[in-house]
Structure formats: structure tokens, C-alpha cells
Amino acid sequence: MRSRDGYYSFILRLCTIILSFSILLDADEYLVSYRYVVKNAILYNESLDISKSMTKCEGIPSQTLILASLNKHNFQKIIDKHKDKFIEYIQKLGINVESRERTTNNQINSTTIVTFKTTCFKVDFNDNFVRISHLKQP
């Protein structure tokens, strides 16, 4: 039951802080980058690179994505299974779009390059799901 003096919001904030620190303490860190190239309206190249961080990443966990893992602790396989959801998640975090057009002999050649720069994520594996948190630079 919620008290009259507003302890409900305090308890909710306290639980959020505790959850954030639990992510910070026992989560693995991964570096993720994404790039795809479209030439003349045809997908030319797409790459999603994931590697375990060799040094500790600095930052504050911000936006979180939760994916089903079913006792798997291999981040690459989990992302491969839920690639569309993960790509949508990183697009919300921020991407860079570069577009070029060139006309030669009345023929238009266009190239669009979409990149998500290499960013560190905290990944917490549980029995049934994996929690992925973007590390926002302070």
C-alpha cells in the first residue's frame, strides 16, 4: 500500500538504482558496430561486428533491451536470432547516414552508407533472458 507522504516514488527510484548497479557489477561488456551500404537501391554490404571488450568501458547504463536467451550465454548467437530487434534498438541510439549521388550520361548513381559507431554495451545473462544496456558517456 502506498503511503501518504510519497514513499512509493522513492522506493521505485531505489529499485531502479539497485538494478542499475547490479547490471554494472556482474555484466559482461561488448563492443558493437554496425554498417550497411546501399548502392542504386540495392543492399550492397551489411556488417554487424560484435567483440568482447578487452578493457573496462566507462559510462552509465541508459536504454535497455531485453531478449529471450533460453540458457544461452553466447552473445553473438543471441543477436543473430534477434537481429531485427537489435538493429531497431541501435538505430534508436543514433546512427550516421551519408548519402552521395552522381550523374553521368543521364544515369544517376547513388550510394547511401549507414553506420553505428563502435559502442560499448553491458550484457547481463540470466536463465531465460539477456539484458543489454547501452553505456552512455558521462
Is residue 75 situated within a structural domain? yes
Is residue 2 situated within a structural domain? no
The CA-to-CA distance between both ends of the chain, in Å, stands at 37
Task: Write the pLDDT tens digit of every residue in 77-114.
Answer: 999 999 999 999 998 998 999 999 999 888 889 999 99
Is residue 1 situated within a structural domain? no
More confident residue, 111 or 2: 111
Q: Would you state the pLDDT for residue 23? A: 44
Q: Is the predicted pLDDT of residue 2 greater than 60, yes or no?
A: no
The answer to whether the pTM exceeds 0.85 is no
Is residue 119 situated within a structural domain? yes
Distance CA 92, CA 73 (A): 25
Q: Domain of 89?
A: 7-136
Is residue 59 situated within a structural domain? yes
Q: Is the predicted pLDDT of residue 16 greater than 80, yes or no?
A: no
Is residue 91 situated within a structural domain? yes
Is residue 81 situated within a structural domain? yes
Look up residue 133 and give its three cell numbers. 544496456
How many domains does the chain fold into? 1
Q: What is the DSSP letter of 41?
A: T
Q: Give me the residue label for grid cell 529471450.
A: 68
Is residue 89 situated within a structural domain? yes
